Amino acid sequence: MYLNQFLLLAAFLFSVGVYGVLARKNGVLVLMSVELILNAVNINLVAFGAFHNTVAGQVFALFVIAVAAAEVGVGLAIVLLIYRNRQSIDLSEVDLMKG
């Protein structure tokens, strides 16, 4: 197996996630796209760990998984708060800080 096939797959997942973050306006869907980006990074970490024959890649992938769990918890709490205050999670309406 080539190293590059995993890296290209991760690059594709990352780009799809970036598209989702930019194009979606539902808060939950934006968080899902962020998960796609984090998973692309995890594939890269584990692939390079296998390439260099070290466990550091796996260890950092596990750290990223833990941080992603924390991120989703806080992110969904914020989305719920936005929903409670505005009765909608349309992110294009959340523009209080727009000048």
- Binders of another protein among residues 67 to 96 (CB under 8 A) are 67-74, 76-81, 83-84, 89-92
**Least Cβ distance, residue 85 to another protein (angstroms):** 12
For the segment 17-76, give every residue that binds another protein (CB under 8 A): 17-20, 22-29, 31-33, 35-36, 39, 42-43, 46-47, 49-51, 53-59, 61-63, 65-74, 76
97 binding another protein? (CB under 8 A)? no
Residues 6+ apart with CB under 8 A from 46: 57, 58, 61
**Least Cβ distance, residue 99 to another protein (angstroms):** 19
Which one, 56 or 97, has the nearer CB to another protein? Answer: 56
Which 3 state secondary structure label does DSSP give 98? coil
Which 3 state secondary structure label does DSSP give 95? coil
Q: Are 11 and 40 in contact (CB under 8 A)?
A: yes
**Least Cβ distance, residue 53 to another protein (angstroms):** 5
